[in-house]
Amino acid sequence: MDWSTFLTPVFWTQLLASAVSLATPLILAALGEVFAERSGIINLGIEGMMLFSGFMAFTVAYQSGNIWTGVLLAVLTGALMSLLFAFMTITLRSNQTVTGLSLNFLGQGLAMYLYRTIFKITTETPRISPFQNIAIPVLSDIPILGDVLFNHSIFTYLMFILVPVGLIIIYRTRFGLRLNAVGESPQTADTLGVSVARIRYGCMIIGGALAGLAGAFFSLVELGAYSDSMVNGRGFIASALVIFGRWDPLWTLGGGLLFGGIDALQNRLQVLGSPIPSNFLQMTPYVVTILALLIGRRRKAPAAMGIPYVRK
Amino acid sequence: MSHEKKPILRAPRASSAMLPLAILLALVCGALLLALSGYSPIEAYAALLRGSFGNLNAIAEVLVKTTPLLLAALGLTISNRAQVISIGAEGQIYLGAMGAAAVALFMGALSAYIAIPLCMVAGILIGALWGGIAGWLKVRMNANEVIVTLMMNYIAIELVRYLVNGPWRDPNSVEPYSALITDGAYLPTLIPRTRLHVGILIALAMVAVFWWVLRRTTLGYQLTVCGANPDAAEANGINSRRMIVISMLISGGMAGLAGAVELMGVHHRLIEEVSPEYGFTAIIIAVLGRGKPVRVLFAALFFAVLTTGADGMRLTMGIPASIGSILQALVLLFALGSEIFEQRLLTKEQIRLSAAQQR
Amino acid sequence: MASLRGVQVQGDYGKPAVSGFDLDIHAGEIVGIAGVDGNGQSELVEAIVGLRKIGSGTLTIGGQDLTSSPAWKRIDAGLRYVPADRKRRGVVPDLSIADNSAIKNYRMAPYSKRGVLQPEAIRQFAARLVEEYDIRCESINTQVGTLSGGNMQKLLLAREASENSALLVVEHPTQGLDIGAIEFVRKALLDKRDEGTAILLVSADLDEVLELSDRVVVMYEGAAVQERRHDEIDREEIGLAMAGLS
C-alpha cells in the first residue's frame, strides 16, 4: 500500500468530505430518534423504515420523473410507519423492542416484495438521476474546508440546519420542556396537564419523518436506484448513535461525523489495498459502536424510556 | 414507591383465541397485498400449501427449515424469561457453524461417533461465548444488550466471510466457501433423496430437554419467576444478574448449535450465507412461543411452513419470496397488538374468579 | 437479631430518604415504625431487604454484616419480607399457589435436590401453608392472581413466616383486607413474635402500629426521632413527633 497518499491534502479533503456525506443519513435518522427516545420510546425499526422509505422515494421519483416527490413520499412513508409504531406502543402498549424489530421485518419485506412486483426485474437496473452536489458559492472555494463542508447534496445541508433546530427545540421551547418531562417522568407530566400520548405521538412522527428522509438519501443521493442492501445496518448504527450522542443533537452530530469518518476511511483503505483484510475493516463501524456504547453509558437514558405509560 | 424500571418482556398467560386470530388477520392482509399486486390470493395460498405440504420433499424442506429456527428460538426463550432482549442469534449461528467447521475441516478424518458430538460441542461453546460476552457487558457495564448483540452479529458475519474468502477457502475453487467437511461430520439423512437430516431429531430432543429444565430444575424455576414477574423475582432474592449471564450463555449456545447443525446437515461446508436470517426470525418465534417450548415448536413449524410455502409461491407463480417475511411480520404485529386485549380479558377473568372465591 | 447503624439511603430524586438511622430489632419482639407516608419508610424497607443500596452505615442480621450483600444472601441469613405491593413484589400472580410457596426455599432440601425440584415436597409444603393459614382456594394449583386480597396476603405471610424466618419485615400488612383477614394477620404476627421471630412492622395504620408493636419508632424526614416502649406510648406525643414537632 502506498503510505504516501496519507500525506497529500487531497486525500484528507476527499476523506473528510466523504465522511460528512456518509454521516448524513446516520445523523438525520439519529436526530429523529433522539426526539423519540427523549419522549420515552425506543424504536428499533428504523432500519426497515429507512429501507422502505428509500424504496418509496425511488419508486415515486422514477414513476413521476420528479425527484422531489420522491423526497416527499419518503418523509410521508417514514411518518406513517412511525405512526403505526406509535399506535402499537403507545395506545396498545406493546413491547417497544419487539414491535420495532417486527416493523423492521415488515419494512424490509415490503420493500423487497414491492420492488420486484412493481419493477419487473430485467437485466437493467432501473435508475434515476440522483441529487447532485450543490456547491455553495464563495464558501465552497475555501481551500479544504470548502470541499469538506460546502459541496454536498441538499440532504447534508438540511442536516446541518436541522441539528441546531433540534437543539433549540429540545432545550429552548415549551414543546421541548414537555417532551423531556414526558421522557423522565410521565406521571409527573400527566399531573401537570401534559398529554403524554400526544407528545409521544408527535415525537414519533418527527422521528419517522427524519428516518424517511434518511432512507431517501440512500436511493436518491447515494445510488440513484434501489437496492435491498442499501441500508446495510446503518439504521441500527443510527440507533447506537443516539445513545453514543447522549440524546443530544450536537453530540449526535459529532458522533455521526466520527462514524462517517470511520466508514470513509475504511472504504479508502480497501481501495488502496491496505494490509488489513477488507472484512476486518468492514467490522470497524460495528466495533466502534460497541465501544462507543460502553463509553457513552455515563449519561443516563431518559428514565421512562421503553416503559409503556399507563394512566392510573 | 420506587418506579417500575423494567420493560417487561413477558408473556401473559395465553388466551388461545388470540394467536389464531392474529394469523388470520395477517393472512387477510397478505391476501390484500397479493390481490393488489395482481395475483389471485386463493391461488397464491394454494401454492403456499402445496409448496409446504404438497409432497414428501416439501414436508422434508419444512422440517429442515424448522430445525435451526427451533434450536435458536428455544435458546431465546430462556433469555427472554431473564428479561434480556438478545438479537444476536444470527451472529451466533454463524459462529457456531464456524466452530463446528473448525473441527470438521481440520481435525482429519473422524468417525461419526466422535465428529458429530465434537462439532456440536464446538458450535455450542463458541455460540455461548459470543452470547456470554454480551451478557457480561450488560451485567458489568449496563451496556444495552440490544445494540451490543446486534453489532456482534455483523462482526461475526464478517469474520466468517473473511475465513471463507481467505484462509479457509476451498483450494480447488475460487468460490467463497470452504472445502467439504470430513465425511464423519455429515449428519445422516432421515429420508432418502430429501434434505431432511438427523438435526430435526436433535431439535425435538431439545424441546423435551428445555421443557424439563423449565419445569423441574431450580434454574428453570428461577427463569420462570423472572419471566412472569421480574419485580417479585428481584424482591425474593433471585439474582437477576446471574440469570442474565446464564441465559445469554444458553441462548448463545443454542444458536451456535443451530449453526453447527446447519453445517453438518445442510451445507456440508462453511459458506458465506450460513443463515438466511434464521437468527432474526427465531426472535419472532420465541416471542410468539411465549416461553413455552412446545409452543415454540409449533411457532417454528408455522414459520418454516411460511418460508417454504413462499418459495413455492415464487416457483409456481413468480411471487417474490419476500411475501413470506411480510406475512411473518404481520403475524407478529397482530399478535403484539392483541396483547392488550388479552390482558383486559385476563384481568376480567381474574376478577371473576376472585369474586367466585369470596364465598 | 438485626441492627442498623447510621444507615443512609438515597431517595429517588437525589436527596437522601433515610439518614443516620439507628435501630435494633430483637428476637421475639415487634418493632413498629410510625410515620406519615413519605418520610423514608419505604426506602428504609427497600434498603433492608436489598432492593435499594445502603449509602453508608451498616446492616447486620444475626451477627452477619449484610450491608452490601445481595438480597439472596440476606434471605439465607433469615430475612423474610411481606411487601406492601403484593402483586408486584410478593407473589407471581400467573403462577400457582404451589409454585409461589416455594419462592423462598426452592434451593434448599427437601424442596430440591442438586438443582432438581422435588414437586411432591413443594406440594406438601404448599398444602400445609394453606391449611395452617386457612387460605380459601380451590386447590394448591389455583392461580394466585385469582385469590382475594385477604387470601393472597395470608399466603404471603404463611410463606414468609414459615421457615428460617429470623427477621420478618412486613409492610402495610392489613391494607385492603376485610375484617376477618385483618384479625387473622394481626394474630399471626403476634403468634410469630411469641415464637421468637424478630418483626419489623411498617404500617400507615397508626392504630395498628401502636397496638401490635412492643416498641414504636417514629420516623420523620428519614430519621428516627422518637422511640417508645409499648407501655410508654402516648398517642398525642407520637402524633406530634410524626409531624416533626417534638
CATH architecture of A3-296: Orthogonal Bundle (1.10)
pLDDT band at B68 (very low <50, low <70, confident <90, very high): very high
Contact C220, C19 (CB under 8 A): no
List the one residue out of A237, A167, A227, A177 whose CA is nearest residue A27: A237
Q: Which residues of C make CB contacts under 8 Å with B? A: 12, 42-43, 46, 49-52, 70-72, 74-75, 81, 83-85, 88-95, 99, 102-104, 106-107, 112, 115-117, 119, 136-138, 143, 145-148, 151
Q: Which residue of C has its CA nearest to B224?
A: C95
| DSSP-based helix, strand, coil % in chain C, nearest 5 | 35, 25, 35
- Residue A246 has a CB neighbour count (10 Å cut-off) of 17
Distance of CA A206 to the CA centre of its chain: 12
Interface contact A123, partner B, CB < 8 A = no
* Domain C2-242 bears CATH identifier 3.30.460.80: no
Please indicate whether, in this complex, the C-beta atoms of B237 and C91 are within 8 angstroms of each other.
Answer: no
What percentage of chain C reaches a pLDDT higher than 90?
27
- Residue A122 has a CB neighbour count (10 Å cut-off) of 7
* Domain edges within chain A: 3-296
DSSP H or E segment with residue B228: helix B218-228
Contact C156, C91 (CB under 8 A): yes
What does chain C come to in residues? 246
pLDDT band at B91 (very low <50, low <70, confident <90, very high): very high
User: Mean pLDDT across the stretch B42-63?
Assistant: 91
Please indicate whether, in this complex, the C-beta atoms of B236 and C83 are within 8 angstroms of each other.
Answer: no
Buried b (16+ CB within 10 A) or exposed e, B251-276: bbbbbbbbbbbbbbbbbbbbbeebbe
All three cell numbers of C106? 426452592
Which residues of B are less than 8 Å from A95 in CB distance?
7-9, 336
Q: From CA C5, how far away is CA B193, in angstroms rounded?
A: 76
Interface contact A236, partner B, CB < 8 A = yes
pLDDT of residue B70: 97
pLDDT of residue B263: 94
Domains of chain B are 65-315 (1.10.3470)
Q: Which of A56-65, B191-200, B332-341 has the lowest mean pLDDT?
A: B332-341
Please indicate whether, in this complex, the C-beta atoms of B280 and A101 are within 8 angstroms of each other.
Answer: yes
All three cell numbers of C243? 409531624
pLDDT of residue A219: 93
pLDDT of residue A95: 84
User: Mean pLDDT across the stretch C212-234?
Assistant: 88
pLDDT of residue A209: 96
Task: Tell me the average pLDDT of chain B.
Answer: 88
DSSP H or E segment with residue C60: strand C54-61
pLDDT of B9 over the 50 cut: no
User: What would the pLDDT profile of C109-121 be if each residue is shown by its tens digit?
Assistant: 888 888 899 999 9
Q: From CA A142, how far away is CA A139, in angstroms rounded?
A: 6
pLDDT of residue A163: 94
pLDDT of residue A312: 59
List the one residue out of A167, A148, A185 whose CA is nearest residue A31: A167
Interface contact A94, partner B, CB < 8 A = yes
Contacts of B319 (CB under 8 A, 6+ apart): B34, B37, B39, B44, B47, B310, B313
pLDDT band at B261 (very low <50, low <70, confident <90, very high): very high
User: Mean pLDDT across the stretch C211-218?
Assistant: 91
Please indicate whether, in this complex, the C-beta atoms of C88 and B231 are within 8 angstroms of each other.
Answer: yes
**Is the sign of the CA dihedral B225, B230, B236, B242 positive or negative?**
positive
The amino acid at A2: D
User: Mean pLDDT across the stretch B198-221?
Assistant: 94
Interface contact A65, partner B, CB < 8 A = no
The list of chain A residues with pLDDT below 50 reads none
The more confident residue out of B75 and B170 is B75
pLDDT of residue B15: 53
pLDDT of residue B7: 34
Complex ipTM:
0.87
Contacts of A303 (CB under 8 A, 6+ apart): A183, A184, A185, B3
User: What would the pLDDT profile of C11-34 be if each residue is shown by its tens digit?
Assistant: 877 788 888 888 889 888 999 998
pLDDT of residue B11: 45
Size of interface A-B (CB pairs under 8 A): 136
Strand, helix or coil for residue A253: helix
pLDDT of residue B6: 39
User: What would the pLDDT profile of C119-167 be if each residue is shown by its tens digit?
Assistant: 999 999 999 999 888 888 888 888 888 888 888 999 999 999 888 888 9
Contact A230, A223 (CB under 8 A): yes
Contacts of A149 (CB under 8 A, 6+ apart): A20, A139
pLDDT of residue A267: 82
pLDDT of residue A297: 56
pLDDT of residue B4: 39
- Residue C130 has a CB neighbour count (10 Å cut-off) of 22
- Residue A176 has a CB neighbour count (10 Å cut-off) of 17
Q: From CA B159, how far away is CA B157, in angstroms rounded?
A: 5
* Domain edges within chain C: 2-242
- How many C-alpha atoms does C77 have within 13 Å on its Cβ side? 23
pLDDT band at C226 (very low <50, low <70, confident <90, very high): confident
Interface contact A276, partner B, CB < 8 A = no
User: Mean pLDDT across the stretch C220-244?
Assistant: 86
Give the chains touching B; criterion: ≥3 Cβ pairs < 8 Å. A, C
Interface contact A92, partner B, CB < 8 A = yes
pLDDT of residue B116: 93
pLDDT band at B107 (very low <50, low <70, confident <90, very high): confident
Which residues of B are less than 8 Å from C52 in CB distance?
2
Buried b (16+ CB within 10 A) or exposed e, B288-309: bbbbbbebbbbbbbbbbbbbbb
pLDDT of residue B336: 87
Which residues of B are less than 8 Å from A290 in CB distance?
137, 143, 147-148, 151-152
